[in-house]
Amino acid sequence: MELVRGLHNLRERHRGSVVTIGNYDGVHRGHQHMLATLVAHSRRLAVPATVVTFEPTPREFFEGDSAPARLMRLREKVEALPLYGVDRMVVLGFDRRMQGMGAAEFVDRLLVRGLGARHLVVGHDFHFARRREGNIETLRAAGVEHGFEVEEVGQFLLEGERVSSSLVREALERGDLERARRLLGRPYRMAGRVRRGQQLGRKLGYPTANLALHRKVVPLWGVFAVRVSGAGLVDHPAVVSLGTRPTINGTEPLLEVHIFDFDGDLYGRYLDVDFVQRLRDERRFESLDALVEQMHVDAAAAREVLGI
């Protein structure tokens, strides 16, 4: 998949596309339904299937630290979208300039001159541009003028509910990983590069790969049974603690991964962590000895869940 950052990096060769626009946070089953339509038209017209998204998200721009936790970082989205047939991802910086861009300018600069859109796929009640002034009818009128079609894709329902990023986020906050899996069509995943830590886990008998999350807010907390891939590992069983490590007065969210029956150097390597089952809340222990006792319990519980 080709990654293009910013309107200014669109070139003549990018003209001729089937396009969808949105945050695509989580790439859940509702998104996958949209992407299937996108890809079908891209193959019919023999042009790239193109997803346009924003960084930061509009809600992050307007709400700052009060914005909902992301399900995916940009890198994770870049990894996920090609799995569903996307050929190109255009990431637009959401800043004051983008905030103030009117609907006509957005259509002209992005869809007409930038991407030469042949077909546009959008969700129900789609709005865009300054003060959400653009809508599906705006796009259809522009399509008549500039020669592209606009298709509105209906809601994707699961168990009578519209699948959305908010619904996935709610399931994760409750620790309902099975429901999150059904909404996503796959286990919930977080990823990151292994960094050097304080080596405390090794001293306590549970060496961990510490993944920097680069997130201000995370969508779930606690201790989990997981499977890890990357650096030669494929769905390898592990137990993780996701939180701020209150027992040692930590403050930064950190994903600590203890990989069962593994002894290798993972520093600097990139790992994918698939969450299988929540074991307990994160909590503060009165001593490191008490923490180690609980780690024994957590490890045994994770092994049982993962069948090892």
pLDDT tens digits for range 63-95: 998 999 999 999 999 999 999 999 999 999 999
* Domain-embedded: residue 182: no
- Asked if 52 and 128 sit in the same domain, the reply is yes
* Domain-embedded: residue 235: yes
Write out the DSSP string of 202-262: HHTT---EEEE---SS-S--EEEEEEEEETTEEEEEEEEEEE--GGGT--S-EEEEEETT-
Which residue segment(s) compose the domain that 26 sits in?
2-162
Domain edge (last residue) among 162, 177, 212:
162
- Asked if 197 and 301 sit in the same domain, the reply is yes
Cis amide leading into 56 (omega within 30): yes
For residue 92, what pLDDT is reported? 97
- Asked if 212 and 133 sit in the same domain, the reply is no
- Asked if 235 and 116 sit in the same domain, the reply is no
For residue 212, what pLDDT is reported? 81
* Domain-embedded: residue 288: yes
- Asked if 156 and 9 sit in the same domain, the reply is yes
* Domain-embedded: residue 135: yes
Contacts of 291 (CB under 8 A, 6+ apart): 204, 247, 285
- Asked if 90 and 192 sit in the same domain, the reply is no
* Domain-embedded: residue 229: yes
* Domain-embedded: residue 176: no
Write out the DSSP string of 143-200: HHHHT-EEEEEPPPEETTEE--HHHHHHHHHTT-HHHHHHHHTS--EEEEEEE----H
For residue 283, what pLDDT is reported? 85
Does the active-site annotation cover 256? yes
For residue 243, what pLDDT is reported? 87
| Identified catalytic residue from 60, 76, 151, 256 | 256
Q: What is the tally of structural domains in the chain?
A: 2
Domain edge (last residue) among 128, 162, 196:
162
**Token pair in block for residue 203:** 């001293």
CATH number of the domain encompassing residue 261? 2.40.30.30
For residue 206, what pLDDT is reported? 81
For residue 35, what pLDDT is reported? 98
- Asked if 202 and 118 sit in the same domain, the reply is no
CATH number of the domain encompassing residue 38? 3.40.50.620
For residue 284, what pLDDT is reported? 84
- Asked if 142 and 207 sit in the same domain, the reply is no
- Asked if 146 and 112 sit in the same domain, the reply is yes
Q: What stretches in the chain show pLDDT beneath 70? A: 197-205, 246-251
* Domain-embedded: residue 27: yes
- Asked if 196 and 134 sit in the same domain, the reply is no
Q: Are 264 and 206 in contact (CB under 8 A)?
A: no
* Domain-embedded: residue 232: yes
pTM of the model as a whole: 0.92
- Asked if 8 and 80 sit in the same domain, the reply is yes
Domain edge (last residue) among 162, 177, 206:
162
- Asked if 198 and 136 sit in the same domain, the reply is no
Polymer length in residues for the chain: 308
For residue 249, what pLDDT is reported? 59
